Amino acid sequence: MTAVTARAHTNIALVKYWGKADTDLIIPQTSSLSLTLDQFYTDTTVAFDADFTADTVILNDHRLSRDASQKVRQFLDLVRQMSGETRFATVTSTNHVPTAAGLASSASAFAALAGAASRAAGMELSRADLSRLARRGSGSATRSIFGGFVEWQAGHDDHTSVAVPFQEQVDWPIAMVALLLDPHEKKVSSRQGMQSSVTTSPYYPAWKQVVAADLAAIKPAILAHDFTTTGEILEANAMRMHALTLSANPPYSYFNGDTLTAMQTVRDLRAAGVACYYTLDAGPNLKVFCQTPDLPAVTTQLAAQFGADRLVVAHPGPGIEFL
Ligand code: ADP
Ligand code: DP6
Ligand code: CO
C-alpha cells in the first residue's frame, strides 16, 4: 500500500461559473476565470489496499456517512475505471478552509483528491489531465490545479473542457481579503443552486452574454494591471451571478444581513478614496480585492466593523503540490 498526499488551494472566480451544460461530465455553460488563493487549501491522502472492503472517507478527523461520502466514492470509481485499480481506498482529508460555506472547499477538495487518487492508483497525469479529472468532482476544482490567474475554457466535451493558466506567476501586488461572516454550511449547495438558475431564471440567457463580455474585457485589464477595470468587472459579475439566484423559481439568496452591510462598507471605502471591490461565491462571505498599498486602510475598516478575527488576508497562491 502506498499513500499519496496532495495539497490544492481554493480559488475565487472573478468571472464566475454558474451553470452546467452537462451535469454528468460537468461541462459548464460558460468559461470562467479565477485567482488561486494562498491562505485556503485542502490536504488529501489516498491509499488503496487489498484488505479494505469498502471506501472510507475521513474529513477533518470525522468519518463521513455513506450519504456524505457519495461524491468522493463516485470519484474513486472514476479513478478506478481510468487506471484499472480494483482495490478500495481510504481518503483522509483536511480542509484549511471552512467546508461548504461559499469559500470554495469543493475546489481545493476535488483538485487535491484528483492528484492524490490518480497517483495512488499508479497514474502519472499531466496538469491538464488532472484538471479534466478534478472537473468531474466539482467544476471549480478544474481551476485549482493551477496557481495564479486561471481560465477554465468551457469546451464541449471531456477533452476540451479544461483549465489553462492565464498568469501563474502573478507580478501584480494584489490581495483578496476574506471576510468570514458565517462559516456554517450553506442550505443550498452550489450544485443545486446553479442548476435551479439554469432551468428557472429568465435571466440565464443574458448571463451567458455577460460572462462572454466580462471575460473578453477582464483579461487585458489583468495583463495591464488596470485595477479599476478589473475591480469593476469582478464586482458587477458577482452581483449578476447572484441576480440569478434572486430570479430563480423558487427564489433564494446566499446573502445575509452582514453581507449587505459589508458591501456598503466597500462602497464607502471607495467613496473615501480607497480602491477596493468585492466579490462573493455561493455563500454570505465577502472577498475584498485590493492592491497591497491599500491593504491597511481596507483591513482597518473591516476589522473595526466586523472584528479582526473574521479577516484573512490572502494573496495569489500556487497550483497543486504533492507532499
Ligand atoms: P463550497 O462553497 O465550500 O465549495 P459546495 O456546495 O460547492 O461548497 O461544496 C461543498 C461540498 O464539497 C461538501 O458538502 C462536500 O461534499 C464536498 N467537500 C468539501 N470539502 C471536501 C473534502 N476535503 N473532501 C471531500 N469532499 C469535500
Ligand atoms: C459560485 O464548483 O462548487 O463558486 O461543479 O456543482 O461542484 P459543482 O459546483 P462548484 O460551483 C462554484 C460556483 C461559484 C463560482 C465559481 O467558482 O466559478
Ligand atoms: Co464549491
Q: What is the pLDDT of residue 303?
A: 98
97 and 76 housed in the same domain = yes
| pLDDT of residue 10 exceeding 80 | yes
Q: Is 265 in the pocket of ligand 1 (CB under 6 A)?
A: no
88 and 49 housed in the same domain = yes
184 and 306 housed in the same domain = yes
Which of residues 152, 170, 188 is at a domain's end? 170
CA of residue 236 relative to chain centroid, distance: 18
Give the residue numbers spanning the domain of 270.
Answer: 174-314
Q: Which residues are 48's β-sheet partners?
A: 89
Contacts of 227 (CB under 8 A, 6+ apart): 174, 275, 291
Complex ipTM more than 0.90, yes or no = yes
Which of the ligands is closest to the CA of residue 13?
2
Q: What is the pLDDT of residue 244?
A: 98
Q: Which residues are 23's β-sheet partners?
A: none
Grid coordinates representing 174 are 494584489
7 and 66 housed in the same domain = yes
Task: Could you list the beta-strand ranges (E) of the chain.
Answer: 3-15, 20-22, 27-28, 32-49, 56-59, 62-63, 88-96, 149-153, 162-167, 174-179, 276-279, 286-291, 311-314, 321-322
Q: What mean pLDDT do residues 139-143 have?
A: 98
Q: Is residue 322 part of a domain?
A: no
Q: Is 99 in the pocket of ligand 1 (CB under 6 A)?
A: yes
Give the position of cell 473595526.
304
| CA separation for the pair 230, 127 (Å, rounded) | 27
Which of residues 137, 170, 203 is at a domain's end? 170
| Residue of higher predicted confidence among 1 and 127 | 127
103 and 29 housed in the same domain = yes
pLDDT single digits (tens) 191-216: 999 999 999 999 999 999 999 999 99
Q: Is residue 320 part of a domain?
A: no
pLDDT single digits (tens) 52-96: 999 999 999 999 999 999 999 999 999 999 999 999 999 999 999
Q: Is 91 in the pocket of ligand 1 (CB under 6 A)?
A: no
In the structure, ligand 3 is a single-atom ion and the residues with CB under 5 Å from it are 106, 190
What's the CA-to-centroid distance between 138 and ligand 1, angstroms?
Answer: 8
Q: Say how many C-beta atoms besides its own lie within 10 A of residue 52's C-beta.
A: 14
Residue 120's domain is classified under what CATH number?
3.30.230.10
Q: Is 193 in the pocket of ligand 2 (CB under 6 A)?
A: no
Q: How confident is the model at residue 2 (pLDDT cuts 50, 70, 90)?
A: confident
Q: Is residue 160 part of a domain?
A: yes
Domain count, the chain: 2
